[in-house]
Structure 1
Amino acid sequence: MARIAVALQADFADWEPALLMAAARYYLGCDVVTASPDGQPVVSMGGLKVTPDIGFAEIDPKRFDALVIPGGYAWEKGEAFDFTELARDFHAKGKVVAGICAAASALAATGILDDVAHTGNSLASHRKYPGYQGAEHYRDQPRAVCDKGVVTAPGSAPDTFAMEVLKALDLWTPDAQAEISAFAAEHR
């Protein structure tokens, strides 16, 4: 079964990976592993204190099928981890790389969005990163986008973010669809 690394840091947006994590672990039997920069507990924007399983140094694409990065306030505070090396390594090895909200813009800084369709909170937030060259592939839409194993979403789209990550992992089964679709029903 798929093994998913969820990279959490202080002030992460707890609602953004929650549905994906619950569906993958509980309904699909995936191994969902949480990580923090140093393996120490982190507190989300909502005050949820998480004791991670591992530190970021232990996230290796040889051991995981996906790297999931939720957004959060760390980017606005200038305290966010630089995911460039990790994201590029996962992408180069054909693994799923997923970023939502501010993390989608952080992926813009890595260069992996330069040649894939993608979205995020706004094109302007991606353009804050000087190395970003993917504006022609940006889709201004409220739903997540998946292209070539790269999943991006605005912070307001945790439902479709979960869907697209599961699809990218080849886990979009009838059970997954039924569970996730139930949570997204209000948006129809």
Structure 2
Amino acid sequence: MTERNGRDSRGNRGGEGDHGPDGENAARSGVPGVARPTVHLAVYDTLADWEPGHATAELARNGYRVRTVGPDIRPVTTLGGMRVVPDIAVAELRPEDSALLILPGADTWETGELAPFAATARRFLASGVPVAAICGAVPGLAREGLLDDRDHTAAAPFVLTATGYGGGDRYREADAVTDRDLITAGPTDPEAFAREILRRLAVLPPEVLDAWFRLYADSDASAYPVVAAAAEARQHRAA
């Protein structure tokens, strides 16, 4: 059984690769005088609604501001039929204004029309700002050449091979992989995708993050008291 399909053992497994420094952009809600860091979520037609939800919810709960970035500022419609009006256009997005760029999957990655988001990811990584890509966004980054020298994962190796990229020897069979400032995950692992994002930004203490993952990825009820206690402590800090 590969790691990707090993649901019985996933709770104690971290993603592969170098997770980078902890806490560079982290901030907690309820701390007087601390500005809320901003995370940017890319939105576009046919966006896979379920993929970024765990990550954005926990980021917002823990003091981050989530702003949406579209191809332009016209409304987009997700795969689930939700209408989203982007806060800004991708051409306006600057790495220095962000703590992280999240790139969900979408059917439109296959058409090449989302290439500006891949180019933006290149600028983010060159500036030392993390990028997290899942599902169809991963082949999009492969076409941009961003996976050639970084460990990564995806839905399956052949999905990336079809892009003609040069990083096949860096593919890892795992639920999610972090290498330097790039996080990748396949479409069936939104919890692991969130785990790597929360770890990279040091949003939750390691023991709470481990419990959070076991609760949501594996329905491990024994993890609930740890997650609930952390939520209560967060509420007290914000009061």
TM-score, length-scaled by structure 1: 0.90
1:160 aligns with 2:192: yes
Match of 2:82 among 40, 43, 48: 48
1:168 shift after superposition: 1.5
Q: Map 1:22-171; keep pairs closer than 5 Å.
A: 22-26=57-61, 28-76=62-110, 78=111, 80-82=113-115, 83-130=117-164, 132-141=165-174, 143-171=175-203
Residue number in structure 1 paired with 2:51: 16
The one-letter amino acid of 1:80's match is: E
Q: How many matched pairs?
A: 184
1:53 shift after superposition: 1.3
Q: Would you say the 8 A contact 1:6–1:68 is kept in 2?
A: yes
Q: Would you say the 8 A contact 2:152–2:178 is kept in 1?
A: yes
Counterparts of 2:87 and 2:141 in 1: how far apart (Å)?
Answer: 23
Identity %: 35
Counterparts of 1:115 and 1:172 in 2: how far apart (Å)?
Answer: 29
Counterparts of 2:144 and 2:157 in 1: how far apart (Å)?
Answer: 15
Q: How large is the RMSD of aligned CA atoms in angstroms?
A: 1.9
Counterparts of 1:50 and 1:89 in 2: how far apart (Å)?
Answer: 25
1:54 shift after superposition: 1.2
SS in 2 for 1:166: helix
The structure 1 segments of at least 4 consecutive aligned residues displaced by more than 3 Å after TM superposition are 174-181
1:185 aligns with 2:218: yes
Q: Would you say the 8 A contact 1:144–1:152 is kept in 2?
A: yes
The one-letter amino acid of 2:196's match is: E
Q: Would you say the 8 A contact 2:131–2:182 is kept in 1?
A: yes
Counterparts of 1:187 and 1:126 in 2: how far apart (Å)?
Answer: 33
TM-score, length-scaled by structure 2: 0.72
Counterparts of 2:216 and 2:151 in 1: how far apart (Å)?
Answer: 25
Q: Would you say the 8 A contact 1:87–1:110 is kept in 2?
A: no
1:176 shift after superposition: 5.0
Show CA shifts across 1:115-138 (max 9, x none). Answer: 1110011121112223x1111010
1:23 shift after superposition: 0.7
Q: Which has the higher contact order (CA 8 A, sep 6+)?
A: 2
Q: Would you say the 8 A contact 2:214–2:220 is kept in 1?
A: no
Counterparts of 2:53 and 2:46 in 1: how far apart (Å)?
Answer: 14
